[in-house]
A and B are shown apart, each in its own frame.
Chain A
Amino acid sequence: MAVASLATEKSLDMAAVIKESAIAAAVAFALAIFMVGLETVPGGNGLTIVTRFGAVGFTVALVFVGRMGFALLRLGHPWPVLVGAGAVMGLLIALLLTDNTALLPFPSKTVNWMVVLFAAVIFIRAIWMVGRGGAVAEVDSDSVMDRIGASVQRSARWIAPFAIAFALLIPFMPFADRRFLDLAILVMTYVMLGWGLNIVVGLAGLLDLGYVAFYAVGAYSYALLALNFDFSFWLSLPLAGLLAATAGVTLGFPVLRLRGDYLAIVTLGFGEMVRIILINWYDFTGGPDGLSSVPRPTFFGFPFTRHPGEGVVSFNQLFDIPYSSLHRIIFLYYLILVLALITNAFTLRIRKLPLGRAWEALREDEIACRSLGINPTNTKLTAFGIGAMFAGFAGSFFATRQGFISPESFTFIESAIILSIVVLGGMGSQIGVVVAAILLIGTPEWFRDLAQFRMLAFGAGMVLIMIWRPRGLLAHREPTIRLKAAAVSKESEP
């Protein structure tokens, strides 16, 4: 009762709420008038400008109403918000499901669904508040997600087998067409790169903005070894990892004394150096033309071709099944899945070993490490080297999948995406990397019909996640060793 009466007192200040909402709407108007309101369309005589002031109006109105909803929630007034958000949500869903495009505020369906999503978020918060009798729930949202993060980490033991089983069965799912599998391979590649970078950034705490350089070294290693010396994929794979690890250690030496921002800038420079060397060393790397006809993967020597050459047995002949172009895709999918799982298993194990603990200790406090006799040089170099090795493996997979590589594929934006996956997922969290990779690589595909606004939506999503979860989606660290658990297992062992 006390809460309710308090809320009524607060409700008197309607003018402030309207003012706040009007300011938000004005900001939205300033942003939308050019970005949404004007569109250049190629016409008969060059570009012509098409105006879409209706969409601008809807945007401003939605921002006004949404902001008002948030303000009312903050002041402990869930009921009008509940009704309003529910009405907007219901109306839009009804229009979307009946395909009534004429009445929808925005031409793109995806944008309309995003409006529904935002309305749903406000609606759920209003319900939450009604459930708590008007108490303000904002403070708790972080700890709620922390608890979710903790329980996800703890239940990883049970989730992981299901997730792996699901990943194994994906190629046999009814929805797994060529496009879906290609996307799955792409996501898996980024999961593996994210897990690799997690060793450097998440465990050892060394901010690396040039991780794509090692990916490039791996890709070019395989392509050059295969093209010049006819090395098979399985022979090149460890060599590519080794060469990438060497590159990692080479980068590690000059940056040993650097930390934080300075380290980030030098690694950024290293990434660019590798790309520029690849462009300019024409005789060796093919320069901007790249390397084409990189050998396609074979099933341990049996190629995936419809018409194998004389004396060569193809994959479908080996198993006596009809030829399908999907076989190669499915094989590639399993290949990257196995490589990624090896990366994951390695990281999970190394965390419980002295080397992994030294990495984490180094992340926490380098000076304390030195005072305990931990050699910071070796510890950093192994982190750089091992992180780079996994990027090298992923790089040679990339080369064999694409069949064509060029410096274009290894630009800074790739490093930024991989780093975003690690940071968004929650530094050091293995499951977080998977979730973030699906979100970051999968959703831009989903936003395809937003055309040029795809990356804008991507950026907005990232900003939202960082506001909501500044330490990453699933940032929760479980100790690698427990006194209690150890005592229990000791009793049960002998």
Chain B
Amino acid sequence: MTALADVAGDEAGGDSPPLLSVEHLTMRFGGLVAIDDLSFTAREREITAIIGPNGAGKTTVFNCLTGFYQPTAGRLTLHTASGPRYLERMEGFRIAQAGVARTFQNIRLFSGMSVLENLIAAQHNKLMRASVFSLAGLFNLGRYRRAEHEAMELARYWLDKVELLELADENAGNLPYGAQRRLEIARAMCIAPVQLCLDEPAAGLNPHESAELNELLMVIREQHNIGILLIEHDMSVVMGISDHIVVLDYGSKISDGTPEEVRNDPAVIRAYLGEDDDDDGLAAGGERQ
């Protein structure tokens, strides 16, 4: 209950309505508790970062949110215009259809297909509806041609945003690393999500590319009114653009607040830098289990 109270306390400070609320999320793999009673709220038009040392359970949170794992306990609510959707028992592809898009820590592009095809394939459901499950498309009816044209325009828009317009007809697998990262974000945006989940988007980028990524994420937030959930180790990205930071350690939330608050939180400093009382933190973690 204290966790809930904490969340409520933080919410009082926020101004935009909540978009995604995570309540008492717990994920166990056999005896291992990967996430322990985690609660936080991500808001519309806010960039929420989840940080923490290696193995803190950040990616597990994403996998629960996007349906790759079924959480052991807890409630995950996506507040959409048509009412709340409960994600914890939905299949992965339905969660994506509901408006949660994600990227992966180790990039997962359709590497044998062209850059443009990656973005068109992401608009699958829209095009399937327009083509009446491909039947109208078989006979090349105008209805499908219009939908394909629109899909193409959306793809072109995002290619322009991530500066890949010139490489649109290249094989996605042949792109340089940074371009593949940007393409994965563009592909996620092509499903027109309300919540974008990015798993270490700045991993492997040089400082210049990280700065560009920051700008891109700000643009997405400002112009598309969506929430961004971010797992990141690169503190220049996290501190530079986040509105709200959640810090995890050993599967539990140890801090939650604005970048300024988190930066000065002794618990965070302890988890990252490991002061003398590191053992106490471990013991506390053990007690919580």
Please list the residues of chain A having a beta carbon within 8 angstroms of any beta carbon in chain B. 346, 349-350, 352-358, 360-361, 363-365, 367-376, 477, 479-484, 486
Could you tell me if A353 and B120 are in contact, using CB atoms closer than 8 angstroms? no
Could you jot down 10 A-B contacts, CB within 8 Å? Answer: A352-B137, A353-B137, A363-B112, A365-B111, A367-B108, A370-B67, A370-B68, A372-B121, A481-B152, A484-B169
Contact of A364 among B96, B112, B152 (CB under 8 A): B112
Q: In the complex, which residue of chain B has the Cβ closest to the Cβ of A357?
A: B121
Contact of B117 among A357, A370, A376 (CB under 8 A): A357
Could you tell me if A482 and B116 are in contact, using CB atoms closer than 8 angstroms? yes
Contact of A364 with B110 at beta-carbon distance under 8 Å, contacts A357-B117, A374-B124 already known: yes
Q: Which residues from B are CB-within-8-Å of A371?
A: 66, 92, 96, 101-102, 104, 108, 188
**A361 to B121 CA separation, bound complex (whole angstroms):** 7
Could you tell me if B122 and A479 are in contact, using CB atoms closer than 8 angstroms? no
Number of chain B residues close to chain A: CB under 8 A: 46
Q: Which of B127-135, B270-278, B279-287 contacts A (4 or more CB under 8 A)?
A: B127-135
Q: Which residues from A are CB-within-8-Å of B110?
A: 360-361, 364-365, 368
Residues B92-118 near A (CB distance < 8 A)? 92-94, 96-97, 101-102, 104, 108-114, 116-117
**A376 to B96 CA separation, bound complex (whole angstroms):** 13
Could you tell me if A368 and B109 are in contact, using CB atoms closer than 8 angstroms? yes
Q: Which residues from A are CB-within-8-Å of B165?
A: 483
Could you tell me if B138 and A364 are in contact, using CB atoms closer than 8 angstroms? no
Could you tell me if A483 and B168 are in contact, using CB atoms closer than 8 angstroms? yes
Contact of A353 among B68, B108, B131, B156 (CB under 8 A): B131
Q: Which residues from A are CB-within-8-Å of B168?
A: 482-484
Task: Other than A350-B138, A361-B113, A481-B114, give 11 A-B pairs with Cβ distance below 8 A.
Answer: A357-B120, A358-B124, A360-B121, A361-B124, A363-B112, A371-B66, A372-B124, A481-B120, A481-B148, A482-B169, A483-B165
**A374 to B110 CA separation, bound complex (whole angstroms):** 13
**A56 to B133 CA separation, bound complex (whole angstroms):** 62
**A9 to B40 CA separation, bound complex (whole angstroms):** 73
Could you tell me if A360 and B134 are in contact, using CB atoms closer than 8 angstroms? no
Contact of A486 with B152 at beta-carbon distance under 8 Å, contacts A354-B134, A358-B124 already known: yes
A-B contact count (CB 8 A): 123
Contact of A355 among B91, B117, B133, B159 (CB under 8 A): B133
State whether the Cβ of B64 lies closer than 8 Å to any Cβ in chain A: no
**A51 to B193 CA separation, bound complex (whole angstroms):** 76
Shortest distance between the CB of B131 and any CB in chain A (Å): 6
Q: Lowest 3 CB-CB distances: which A-B pairs, in order?
A: A373-B96, A364-B110, A479-B114
**A281 to B155 CA separation, bound complex (whole angstroms):** 55
CB-defined interface of B66-81 with A at 8 Å, one 1/0 digit per residue? 1110000000000000
Q: Which residues from B are CB-within-8-Å of A479?
A: 113-114, 116-117, 169
Could you tell me if A372 and B101 are in contact, using CB atoms closer than 8 angstroms? yes
Most buried by B among A352, A365, A376, A483: A483
Shortest distance between the CB of B20 and any CB in chain A (Å): 16
Could you tell me if A354 and B93 are in contact, using CB atoms closer than 8 angstroms? no
Please list the residues of chain B having a beta carbon within 8 angstroms of any beta carbon in chain A. 66-68, 91-94, 96-97, 101-102, 104, 108-114, 116-117, 120-125, 127-128, 131, 133-134, 137-138, 144, 148, 152, 155-156, 159, 165, 168-169, 187-188, 191
Could you tell me if B67 and A354 are in contact, using CB atoms closer than 8 angstroms? no
Could you tell me if A367 and B68 are in contact, using CB atoms closer than 8 angstroms? yes
Most buried by B among A350, A355, A360: A355
Q: Which residues from B are CB-within-8-Å of A346?
A: 138
Q: In the complex, which residue of chain B has the Cβ closest to the Cβ of A346?
A: B138
**A62 to B52 CA separation, bound complex (whole angstroms):** 68
**A479 to B155 CA separation, bound complex (whole angstroms):** 15
Contact of B104 among A353, A368, A486 (CB under 8 A): A368
Q: In the complex, which residue of chain B has the Cβ closest to the Cβ of A482?
A: B169
Contact of A358 with B97 at beta-carbon distance under 8 Å, contacts A353-B138, A479-B116, A483-B168 already known: no
**A360 to B121 CA separation, bound complex (whole angstroms):** 9
Could you tell me if B191 and A372 are in contact, using CB atoms closer than 8 angstroms? yes
Q: Which residues from A are CB-within-8-Å of B144?
A: 353
Q: Which residues from A are CB-within-8-Å of B138?
A: 346, 349-350, 353
**A279 to B252 CA separation, bound complex (whole angstroms):** 61
Q: Which residues from A are CB-within-8-Å of B124?
A: 354, 357-358, 361, 372-374
Could you tell me if A373 and B109 are in contact, using CB atoms closer than 8 angstroms? no
Could you tell me if A365 and B131 are in contact, using CB atoms closer than 8 angstroms? no
**A215 to B68 CA separation, bound complex (whole angstroms):** 37
Contact of B93 among A352, A364, A374, A486 (CB under 8 A): A374
Q: In the complex, which residue of chain B has the Cβ closest to the Cβ of A376?
A: B93
**A370 to B92 CA separation, bound complex (whole angstroms):** 6
Shortest distance between the CB of B90 and any CB in chain A (Å): 11
**A356 to B110 CA separation, bound complex (whole angstroms):** 14
**A369 to B128 CA separation, bound complex (whole angstroms):** 14
**A372 to B103 CA separation, bound complex (whole angstroms):** 10
Contact of A365 with B108 at beta-carbon distance under 8 Å, contacts A358-B124, A360-B113, A374-B124 already known: yes
Could you tell me if B128 and A355 are in contact, using CB atoms closer than 8 angstroms? yes
